[in-house]
């Protein structure tokens, strides 16, 4: 259920980027699908499992449906999904997808017997890889490279909270909720309040002749 929600939310962010780039319907489907299933694909390949959307293509259909709905809305109501509103929806949708996939990826890894530390790494990869592919294909600077923002840090924190709570054997609902609150909360704090690590000092100025 978590992964299905993550696929849909991340697919929407891919479609929002396609709106901004003025793509045709097939461009919408491509960006939405790559974003929606990219992280889970990397996770399953690293775990040596059949990739989830190859086994069951319903997630690809969800991505295509989200993409076409966004394209139809953008066509019928020009400007509704673009500009400032579209950018904010993209940022917050990406934050939600990040948290959902961090938890889902970690739980999937733990379910197959991966060590907690490796599960955290796989959860963070699941949460970030689809967005990286989306931004690269769109010709944008990936969000993961935005200066100082908690992005991978937020994904890793959500994955870490999930693995930690699972190791204590608490109720699965508490595990999921704890991971989601941690990952989304840290990302939201970075967006709203500028939470970040200190900036490293730049190189010293070059002396002029």
Q: Which residues of 133-148 are buried (b: 16+ CB within 10 A; e: fewer)?
A: bbbebbeeeebbeeee
Name the token pair of 175. 């595990």
pTM attached to this predicted model? 0.90
User: Across the 209 residues of the chain, what is the mean pLDDT of every consecutive 10-residue run?
Assistant: 90 94 94 96 94 94 96 85 85 95 96 95 96 93 78 95 95 96 96 84 60
Which pLDDT value is given to residue 202?
Answer: 62
The span from the CA of 156 to the CA of 151, in Å, is 9
**198 in any annotated domain:** no
Asked, for residue 115, whether it belongs to a domain, the answer is yes
Alpha carbons 150 and 195: distance in angstroms, whole number: 7
pLDDT at 89: 92
Q: What's the token pair of residue 185? A: 């909360």
Q: Is residue 169 part of a domain?
A: yes
Residue among 138, 127, 8, 21 at smallest CA distance from 67:
8
Residue 20 CA to residue 87 CA, distance in Å, equals 9
In a domain, 70, yes or no: yes
Residue 200 belongs to some domain of the structure: no
Residue spans of alpha helices (H) in 77-171: 83-111, 116-137, 152-167
Domain that holds residue 82: 2-193
Domain total for the chain?
1
Residue 203 lies in a domain: no
For residue 208, tell me if it sits in a domain: no
Res 81: pLDDT: 79
Residue 178 CB coordination number (10 Å)? 18
Q: What share of the chain is helix, strand, coil (3-state, %, to 5)?
A: 75, 0, 25
CB atoms under 10 Å from CB of 82, counted, come to 15
């Amino acid at each position: 259920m978590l992964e299905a929600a993550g696929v849909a939310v991340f697919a929407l962010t891919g479609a929002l980027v396609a709106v901004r780039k003025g793509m045709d319907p097939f461009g919408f489907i491509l960006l939405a699908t790559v974003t929606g299933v990219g992280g889970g694909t990397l996770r399953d390949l690293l775990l040596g499992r059949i990739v989830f959307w190859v086994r069951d293509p319903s997630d690809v259909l969800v991505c295509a449906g989200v993409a076409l709905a966004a394209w139809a809305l953008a066509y019928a109501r020009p400007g509704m999904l673009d500009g400032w509103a579209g950018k904010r929806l993209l940022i917050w949708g990406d934050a939600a997808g990040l948290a959902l996939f961090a938890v889902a990826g970690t739980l999937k890894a733990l379910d197959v017997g991966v060590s907690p530390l490796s599960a955290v790494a796989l959860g963070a990869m699941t949460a970030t890889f689809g967005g990286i592919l989306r931004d690269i294909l769109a010709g944008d600077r990936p969000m993961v490279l935005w200066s100082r923002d908690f992005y991978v840090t937020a994904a890793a924190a959500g994955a870490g909270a999930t693995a930690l709570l699972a190791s204590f054997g608490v109720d699965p609902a508490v595990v999921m909720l704890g991971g989601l609150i941690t990952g989304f909360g840290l990302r939201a704090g970075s967006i709203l309040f500028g939470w970040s690590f200190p900036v490293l000092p730049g190189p010293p100025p070059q002396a002029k002749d």
